Chain A
Amino acid sequence: MNEERIEQAGCAKRRAAPACHWLNVGVAAALALVVTAAPGRAQDTVPAGVRIGLTYDRSGKPAVALAPVAGPNADSVFAIMARDLDFSDRLTVIRQDSGDAPTGALNYDLYAKLNAAAVVQATVTPTGGLHIAVHEVAGKRVALVMDLPLPSPALSRDWRHVVHIASDSVEWSVLGRPGIASTRIAYTIQYGGAITLVDFDGEGAWQVPGTHDCLSPSWDPTGTKVACNALPEGNSPSRIEVHDLATGRKWTTRATGNNQTAVFSPDGRTIVFSAGSDAQDLYSVPVYSDSAPRRLTSRRGSLNVSPDFSPDGRKIVFTSSILGHPEVYIMDADGSSADLLTSSGFGDDLYRSDPAFSPDGRRVAFQSRIKGTFQVMAISVADKSTVQLTSEGANESPSWAPDGRHIVFVSTRTGRRELWVLDAESSRARQLTHGGRAQNPAWSPRLSFPRQP
């Protein structure tokens, strides 16, 4: 669904480009195949015939040469795109950050000697547009041409977002799947801070107005709304809030007692959250309705929190203390057939929590106490095999990127609570935030349309 939206946005903006139609046909076919073919590692498997003539070598990463950029703010465009493609962890970037921007026909043979599978030519046009051409080196042809209008002012958050969309489109062209540069991560600052949105590359952080002391943000599937739970203050009780990022509109709902950890269903129509004045159960309520929340769980006085939907909307994973300590459970979305997911192999440390479904629905990331410290792990829904993803410092609150291989989480490895991004395939980790006191990260869907109040 997100890929489709990106495609529409990109196409609308490059309607004039002849390559647009051709590319989107190819991409639509790719998506159809990705959905229907479900191999063992769907996230890394590219169906044959949908890549534009490139060979995706699984043992290495295809190299993409980023040619010098021409036009105003060329350095910034170059730096942002080089970093985006690098942070994808799927491509090797050959940086041509000196010299003049290429004009006329490319010397494909030269790029072939550099082992570049593709060459990216970016130009900021005098009329304020971003012109992108992706060359396929082996085929000696232009594989993608697109023009994106760059919003004013230059270097603003929206301007950067358009450059990120260009990066995602390049990755899409080269690998048959869009990148995740046009995503953001929502998180909370501890001790009364506001919900903060930061770009995929750690830049452009801004605070959502009116969200101080609102915890555990979660995105709606369109990436235009964020739900969170506001702490009680004075006469304002604990409650669930949905903030529309474009309009600033706020909608609230609540059940008895402490209200927390709201998530949207994949169709965006329903919110599931935890509430209770002693025990905590999970409740469901249609967004923007006045109806009373309906209880989903009734688990004998236990604490049931941190729900997350499977991508198909049929299952919910959550943390429950019904055994006397927190473990991760999975149940049907109507609250029936609850079953222990983290059932064995964890030793004496009785604490598993904060589950997050992977975008393909096959794995659930969670945090587990290991020798007294929390680490991020992932468990297979099918066979319950687990893998430990972190080991440095304490690591908590995982959330998956839409590409299904990157995970954002809170880590204390620098001595402060910062967000880190891990590529679960290559184990490469990078620090996303530097201000400390970060908690509850939530990775957005792909955000094709720049949105801000």
Chain B
Amino acid sequence: MNRFRIASMIALTAVVAACSKKPPPAPAPAPAPAINQDSIDRANKARADSIAAAETARRRAEEAARAAEETRRIEAARAAARNTLVAKVYFDYDMDNIRPDQQATLDAKVPILNANTDIHLRIAGHTDDRGSDEYNLALGQRRAASVRRYLVARGIGESRMDIVSYGEQRPVATGENEEAWAQNRRAEFEITAGGNPIKVP
């Protein structure tokens, strides 16, 4: 506290002294600086250039991103087309007709096959494991033939589609229940030629 009081007093004295004195004369004005227009221009240009470069880089990055996005989109579309082409269709027990609920799966393949006339498919027919495995091998062939006939009827050349059967020898699901049987009664599709790259319709 004592120290604070002394400091206040010194400060008060200084203020009093300042008020009592006249102000000093104003200093002479400084000479006007010489303007170097070139350096200003250089600075301005550098600044503009920097902005432009940043803009270009930004544009390029955007373009690259757009291109990458486009590539991703095309690849995704190609993958989707490929998946559509190899999507399985399913059958009822001991039947080879194309079920109404399976037609859309086959119909979706048609525009892709039309856009890619170089593509050849192998259609493999499969069955569940009930019944005669010898008869089922023939039934699998008939299912593959049924699928090919459906696609031929929609304008796809028969020579572009090989058909084979594996009967009940290549199950995708095990178990003696309808869920497993239903998954195994199917036709599978394999692209055996063409489609590199696949054209998306």
Contact = CB atoms under 8 A, between A and B. Distances in A.
Interface in A132-187: none
Interface in B165-193: 165-166, 169-171
A229 B135 CA distance: 13
A231 B166 contact: yes
Interface in B137-175: 137-142, 145-146, 149, 163-166, 169-171
Contact of A369 (B131, B133, B140, B141): B131
A439 B137 CA distance: 13
Contacts of B170: 191
A260 B137 contact: yes
A442 to B, nearest CB: 12
Interface stretch (A22-30, A276-284, A383-391, A399-407): A276-284
B87 to A, nearest CB: 21
Interface string A369-405: 1000010000000000000000000001100000000
A243 B134 CA distance: 20
A253 interface: no
Nearest to B165: A258
Interface in B64-105: 94
A276 B132 contact: no
Given A258-B164, A278-B145, A303-B139, A353 B169 contact: no
A265 interface: no
Which of B134, B149, B169 has the largest number of chain A CB atoms within 10 A? B134
A195 interface: no
B133 A326 contact: no
Q: Main SS of chain A's interface residues? A: strand
A397 B135 CA distance: 11
Contact of B134 (A277, A305, A321): A305
A211 interface: no
The secondary-structure label for the interface of chain B is: helix
Contact-residue size bin, chain B (C-beta under 8 Å from the other chain) = 20 to 34
B134 A261 contact: yes
Nearest to A257: B141
A319 B135 CA distance: 8
Contacts of B134: 215-216, 260-261, 305-306, 319, 353-354, 397, 440
A304 to B, nearest CB: 8
Interface in A201-246: 213, 215-216, 229, 231-232, 237-238
Nearest to B163: A277
Nearest to B166: A231
A258 B140 CA distance: 9
A276 B131 contact: no
B141 A277 contact: yes
A396 B134 CA distance: 11
Nearest to A192: B169
A258 B169 contact: no
Interface in A252-290: 257-258, 260-261, 274, 276-280
A306 B163 contact: no
Contacts of B133: 215, 396-397, 439-440
Contact of A213 (B131, B149, B169): B169
Interface string A83-111: 00000000000000000000000000000
Given A238-B164, A397-B133, A303 B142 contact: yes
A303 B125 CA distance: 15
Contacts of A396: 132-133
Contact of B145 (A277, A353, A367): A277
Nearest to A301: B142
Residue among B138, B166, B169 with max Cβ neighbours from chain A (10 Å): B138
A231 B169 contact: yes
Contact of A278 (B94, B135, B142): B142
A303 B132 contact: no
Nearest to B164: A232
A13 interface: no
A196 to B, nearest CB: 15
Interface of A: 190-192, 213, 215-216, 229, 231-232, 237-238, 257-258, 260-261, 274, 276-280, 303, 305-306, 319, 321, 325-326, 351, 353-354, 367, 369, 374, 396-397, 439-440
Given A278-B142, A374-B131, 19 more contacts: A191-B171, A192-B169, A258-B141, A258-B165, A260-B137, A277-B141, A278-B141, A278-B149, A303-B135, A305-B135, A305-B137, A319-B132, A321-B135, A326-B132, A351-B131, A374-B132, A396-B132, A439-B133, A440-B134
23 contacts: A191-B169, A191-B171, A231-B166, A237-B164, A260-B137, A276-B141, A277-B141, A277-B145, A277-B163, A278-B142, A303-B138, A303-B139, A305-B134, A305-B135, A351-B132, A353-B134, A353-B135, A354-B134, A369-B131, A396-B132, A396-B133, A397-B134, A440-B133
Interface of B: 94, 131-135, 137-142, 145-146, 149, 163-166, 169-171
**Leading 6 A-B pairs by shortest Cβ distance:** A278-B145, A258-B141, A353-B132, A303-B138, A232-B164, A280-B138
